[in-house]
Amino acid sequence: MKTMLWHVDKIHNNHGSYPQITQAAQLLRDNEVVAFPTETVYGLGANAASDEAVSKIFAAKGRPGDNPLIVHISDSAQLHSLVVDIPDKAYELMSAFWPGPLTIIFRLREGSVSRHVTAGLNTIAVRMPDHPVALALIEESGLPIAAPSANKSGRPSPTAAAHVLADLSGEIAGVVDGGETGVGVESTVLDCTGDIPVVLRPGGISREDIESIVGEIAVDPALAGSGEVPKSPGMKYTHYAPAAPLFLADGPQEWIQQQIDEKRQDGLKVGVLATEESAEAYKADVVIPCGRRADLTTVAHSLYSSLRYFDTEKADLIFAEVFPVEGVGAAIMNRLEKAAGHRWLREKQ
C-alpha cells in the first residue's frame, strides 16, 4: 500500500479549505487508517464504529486484541452517543482539561463503537485532543476516531511524522504531518466509573492537576509495582523500548560515569540519556541532552525522540538519569521504567 503524506502547517477556522484534511477525512470515512498529530503523540486513527477499520489498526500496529483503544472526539456533544453515564467529577474534569491530554474512562453505550475498540470491556476511553489538526480532521470526518499511538507495538510512541513513517510506511493509508508534538508523552488515563477517580496511566495531566479540581484521587496500585494486574490492559505490556538494553542509573554523575567507563572498556558503544544541565559532563559514545531537569515538561517533550535516536546510533547499552515522580515526572518515570524493563542500577552504599 502506498502511504499518502500530507503537510499541514497551521489550521485556521475554515479547515474545509485544507485539501489535506478533506482527503485524509475521506480516507477515514472509507474505513482506512490515517495517522495524525495530537498534542501528546501521533495517533493512528480509524472509524471507531467500523469493525473493518478498527481491525486495520490492530493489524498495522501488531497490537494484541485485548488492549482497548481511546476514542477521540472533537465536540463534547459526541460523548453522549458513546457513553451512558457522565459523572459530575467527569464533567468538572472535562471543563478544566478538555481539549487536552486527559483520557476519561466511562461506562460504554453498548453498540456505539466496534467491539474491537473496547476489547470486550463494558467501559470506553474517550478524549478530546488539543491539537488543531486533530480536531479539524475528526470534525471533518464526522466520526468518533479510535486511535492508539501510531507506533508499532512495543516501540516508543511517535512525536514526529518521520517516526510514524519509520514504523508504518506502506502499511497505512496516510499520515498528516503537523510537525512535532508538544507534550511528548501520552494522555493521562483516568477511570471515572467509580466513586473515586483512579489513574490507570500517568500522562500529560498530572495527578496534582486533577486533584486541584476534584480533590483526592487514587492511583492503580499496579503502577507502583504491587504485582497486581493493571486495570488498564495496555499497562501490562513492555513498551517504549529502544533496541539496546536501558538501565535507570540512580546515583551521582561521577558514579554514572564509572558505570559508563566500565562498559566502554568492554568495547561496548554506550549511550546516556542525560539532560541539558548534565550532558556535557559525561564522556560516552552517544550522549543525549533530553530537555532540562529544571523544567520536566521539556524532558517529556523530548523523551521518545531521544529513545529512538539511540536506535539510529546503534548504541549497545544505555544509561538513563532518573527524575522525581512528581507532576509530569510521574509519566516520564513510568515510561522510562517500561523502557528499562524495570532494570535499576543504584550506587551501593
Backbone φ and ψ for 103, nearest 5 degrees, come out as: -100, 130
Tell the smallest beta-carbon distance from residue 48 to ligand TXA (Å): 11
Q: How far is the CB of 189 from ligand TXA (least distance, A)?
A: 5
Among 3, 23, 55, 67, binds ligand TXA (CB under 6 A): 67
From the list ligand TXA, Mg ion, none, pick the one residue 76 interacts with, judged by a Cβ distance below 5 to 8 Å according to partner type: none
Amino acid at 82: L
Helix axes 207-214, 88-97, angle to 10 degrees: 120
Q: Which stretch binds ligand TXA (CB under 6 A): 64-72, 244-252, 257-265, 335-343?
A: 64-72
Looking at beta carbons only, is 31 or 38 nearer to ligand TXA?
A: 38
Which one of 87-95, 117-125, 220-228, 313-321 is the stretch in contact with ligand TXA (CB under 6 A)?
A: 117-125
Does residue 117 contact residue 146 with C-beta atoms inside 8 Å?
A: yes
Handedness of CA 171, 175, 180, 184 (dihedral sign): negative
Under DSSP, the state recorded for 314 is T
Q: Which does 121 bind (CB under 5 to 8 A by kind): Mg ion, ligand TXA, none?
A: ligand TXA
Instruction: State which of positions 33-62 bind ligand TXA (CB under 6 A).
Output: 38, 40-41, 43
DSSP tally for the chain: helices H, then strands E: 10, 17
Taking residues 148 to 187 in sequence order and writing x for each that binds Mg ion by CB under 5 A, - otherwise, the string is: -x--------------------------------------
The least distance separating ligand TXA from the CB of residue 274, rounded to whole angstroms, comes to: 25
| Cross-strand partners of 288 | 273
Stretch that binds Mg ion, among 1-9, 93-101, 127-135, 143-151 (CB under 5 A): 143-151
Q: Tell me the three cell numbers of residue 188.
A: 493521562
Residue nearest to ligand TXA (CB): 234
Q: In terms of CB distance, is 304 or 319 closer to ligand TXA?
A: 304
Cell (9 digits) for 272:
546516556
Name the DSSP class of 205: S
Binding to ligand TXA by residue 233, rule CB under 6 A? yes
Cβ-contact 76, 141 below 8 angstroms: no
Question: Between 112 and 149, whose beta carbon lies closer to Mg ion?
Answer: 149
- Asked if 339 interacts with ligand TXA (CB under 6 A), we say no
331 makes contact with ligand TXA (CB under 6 A): no
Instruction: Tell me how far apart the alpha carbons of residues 66 and 253 are, in angstroms, rounded to a whole number.
Output: 42
Closest CA to 166 of 154, 176, 185, 152: 152
184 binds, among Mg ion, ligand TXA, none (CB under 5 to 8 A by kind): none
Cell of residue 54, nine digits? 478498527
Taking the C-alpha atoms of residue 256 and residue 272, their distance in angstroms, rounded to an integer, is: 9
Q: Does 259 bind ligand TXA (CB under 6 A)?
A: no
